[in-house]
Structure formats: structure tokens, C-alpha cells
Amino acid sequence: MLGKVVSMVESQVMVEARSLRKDYGSTLAVDDVSFQVSRGEVVGFLGPNGAGKSTTMKMLTGYLSPTAGSAYVGGLDVAADPIAAKTKIGYLPESAPLYDDMMVAEFLRYVADIRRVDGATRRERLETICGRCGLNDVLGKNVGQLSKGYRQRVGLAQAMVHDPDLLILDEPTSGLDPNQIVEIRALIRELGSEKTVILSTHILPEVQASCDRIIIISGGKLVADASPEMLSGGDGASVVRVSVKGDAPAESIFAGVAGVRDVTVLGGEPGGQAFRLRSVSGEDPREAIFRAAVDNGLVLLDLHREQVSLEETFRQLTTTEDGAHA
């Protein structure tokens, strides 16, 4: 009975990263990254260039083997069972590398061949996909002659040929013009209603537009994992910044205050300590924070409520001077 419940819960997990780590020689590109993605979720990896987003994706798809840790896709260990795991994934690598010497139709048939999309279903699927990705006008063209926007669409199409459960898209809109970006975003949203999608981007509006959940990666580390609303404080929760002076263990005191959901330690000024407190939805915890500080003999230097945008959160979490730990 319990076993059954567990396995049902398990089957809802589409992707799991367990302490993934990747060293390129002396560069530590990905450092102890763990997360889960449930079936049907659309998750955005957000982070500055060089953060380790692509490297993480390459480990999920089985292209790179992790230095330590493991990746699971649909319950399968990617390292132990690579072929089975790869059949579940559709992958668009960064900047859509494609065979320039092939015609679009020829290329998609080649992918279909290896992906075992056969017989009667093949034509139907290729037609559907070319329709959805808007490729019907370029089927007879060489891939090498296509514009950046069309290349990206061919890249998406090849990822969808076998109707995979999971799509991993590395910077699907980079290098596109605004109209193309809108088109590709719409396509991703459409795909997100039926599939699990992980996409990466270094552009904020991208994740706000497309994702249910955001994983912020910076310097190879996972620094935040939350919904866009939570990160922007828009779920009714408020964010309070507090600075205090005193010997009492301020962090644990604030964590215990009713109405506070979590506490982030910020740098603070000399002699003081600064914190960022996020409240439970709909609560304004400032009064309770004030009392807790006074009761514990802490001197309040500053206490104010912030309007945070995702942009600000992103900047705070990905710049080291703020010393964020999430």
C-alpha cells in the first residue's frame, strides 16, 4: 500500500538532479546542484552567462557525464540506462547546431529514422510538427541557408519528432528578433500544456513569460528555486528588510516569528546584521518582527517593507557582493 503510494509519487517526478557536479579541468562549472521537476511543469533555468545552465542540461541529456552526482529522467538513471533515458528526451542544444548540408525534410526524416518514428505515423507526425513549427515553406531548403529564426524552429522540430515526455531547450530564443521570440514563446507555452519543459535563458522576461517555476543558477550553484510570483513577491507575500545590532542569534529569532516564511542573511553594515524576511501570504509581519527584536535585546537599525521585482531578486541572487544564500 505504502509502496504503491511512493511509486505513484515517484512517477510524477520527470527529472531529478542529485548533487550534480561538473569540473572542466580546474573550472568548476556545476557545483552540487539538486532539484526535481514534476511531470507537466515548465521550468526555467535562469542565470548569467557562464553560470552552468548549459552544462547542467548536458548532464541531464546524457551528453556529458557528471564528475559527481546523478541525473534521473522518468525514473531512469541517465548514466546507467542512457539509451532508454534518451528516448524520453527531446533536446535543443544551445545555438541549434544542425547539419547544414541536409535539406530540412531530409534532416527530419533522418531524426525520425533513429527515433523509430515509423510507417504510417511518421508522415503524420512530421506533417504535424512542420505545421506547428512553421516549416512548411522551407522543407526543400538546405539547413545551411536558413535564417537564425528558421534554424531555431528546425531545432525545435527535431526535438519534437518522437513526441517526447520531456523537452530540454537551451536558450531557445537567443539571437531571434522580437517577432520570432513571440512566436517561439507561444510555441513553448503550447508545448508546456502537454509536456514537461526545461528551458534556459539569461533573460528575465523569458521565464516570466513561459515558466511555472524558476531555478536560478549562478556560479555553478543553484541559488533559488521558486515560482515567478514568489520570486517577485507577487503572491501576496511581502518582503521585509531588517538590520539589527546585538548579540542575540538574530537569524533564528526572526525565523521563529509568526508570519515569517524564510530568512535570508544579507551582508549588513559594520556592527550590524541585515536580513531579508519573506512573509507568509497576506501577512504584514513588521509589528511581530519589531517585538521579537525588542524582546531579545536587539537594536533595530532599519525595518522596511520592499517591493521586489523578479529582476531585483535575480540581481541579488546572482551577484556575489550581496552574499546571498537561498
220: left (phi over 0), alpha (psi -120 to 50) or beta: left
Pairing between β-strand 273-279 and β-strand 27-38 as defined by DSSP bridges: unpaired
Q: Which helix (H) or strand (E) holds 191?
A: helix 178-192
Nearer to other proteins, 107 or 314 (CB): 107
Distance CA 71, CA 150 (A): 31
Nearer to ligand ADP, 19 or 27 (CB): 27
Using CB under 8 A as the criterion, what x/- string covers residues 73-112 for binding other proteins?
Answer: ----------xx-xx-x-x-x-x-xxxxxx---x---xx-
Instruction: Count residues near other proteins (CB under 8 A).
Output: 28
- The site string for ligand ADP over 12-31 (x = CB under 6 A, - otherwise) reads ------------x--x-x--
Which of 17, 20, 42, 51 binds ligand ADP (CB under 6 A)? It is: 51
- Choose the contact partner of 149 out of ligand ADP, other proteins, Mg ion, none; CB within 5 to 8 A by kind: none
Nearer Cβ to other proteins (117/253): 117
CA distances in angstroms from 69 to 30, 65, 94, 179, 196, listed in the order given: 11, 9, 23, 40, 22
C-alpha cell of residue 259? 508570519
Q: How far is the CB of 136 from other proteins (least distance, A)?
A: 22
* Residue 156 CA from chain centroid, whole number: 18
Please give the size of the binding site for ligand ADP, defined by CB under 6 A: 11
Residue 55 makes contact with ligand ADP by CB under 6 A: yes
Q: Of ligand ADP, other proteins, Mg ion, none, which one does residue 100 interact with (CB within 5 to 8 Å by kind)?
A: other proteins
- Binding characters for Mg ion, 79-98, by CB under 5 A (x = yes): ---------------x----
- The β-bridge relationship of strands 221-226 and 42-46 is unpaired
Contacts of 60 (CB under 8 A, 6+ apart): 15, 17, 71, 73, 78, 89, 168, 198
Which residue's CB is nearer to ligand ADP, number 74 or number 220? 220
How far, CA to CA in Å, does 42 sit from each of 66, 165, 227? 24, 12, 10
Given strand 196-201, what is the order of strands in its sheet? 89-92, 166-170, 196-201, 42-46, 213-218, 221-226
Closest distance of CB 158 from other proteins, Å:
7
* Residue 113 contact among Mg ion, ligand ADP, other proteins, none, beta carbon within 5 to 8 Å by kind: other proteins
Which grid coordinates belong to 283? Answer: 501577512
Min CB(219)–ligand ADP separation in Å: 9
Does 53 help bind other proteins (rule: CB under 8 A)? no
Q: For residue 167, which of 144, 149, 150, 190 has the smallest C-alpha distance?
A: 190
**Minimal distance, residue 319 CB to ligand ADP, in Å:** 15
Contact positions vs ligand ADP (CB under 6 A):
24, 27, 29, 47, 49-55
Which residues sit at the interface with Mg ion, rule CB under 5 A? 54, 94
